[in-house]
Amino acid sequence: MEKKTAFPLPAFLIASALVLALGACVKTNDPNATCTNRVESQVLKVEGADSGLVNQDVTLKVTYVILSSCGKYGGIYPAAPTQTTNVHIFADYVGCVCTQVAFQTTHDYKFNSPNAGTFTLSFWSGDNNIISKKIVITP
């Protein structure tokens, strides 16, 4: 389930969008050419339960940035949990002519562990910033 909302972005995200546009959109005379790129997205917030049960999904709503009209959800990695996990959310950009309007969107991430314990999920939030989410899984 994805929800899209337009919002203003800081200058570094606008600059990132321009770099993406220039890198992904190379002019060519080939009519069959496609412009594609996969980019890690900046996570703005992570919402959801702080606890769950072994082998049951804990659903987290992850809000992240898409940099242009050619962008869409590209995936979340890794899917397998460890005690401390860096979670990366990606956007796929497909198209040679894209409107450079950034927007935020939300995607559900389902965390599931076969083991009890405390898990820390770290999501990249731009520059050197991380959003951490602790989840306690019980038997």
Over the stretch 61-78, which tens digit does the pLDDT of each residue have? Answer: 999 999 999 999 999 987
Q: Which amino acid is at 55?
A: N
Tokens linked to 118? 């405390």
Q: How far apart are CA 10 and CA 65, in angstroms?
A: 12
Domains recognised in the chain with CATH numbers: 4-138 (2.60.40)
pTM value is 0.75
Sequential DSSP letters for 105-126 = EEEEEEE--SS-EEEEEEEE-S
Q: What is the pLDDT of residues 103-139, one digit of tens each?
A: 999 999 999 999 999 999 999 999 999 999 999 999 9
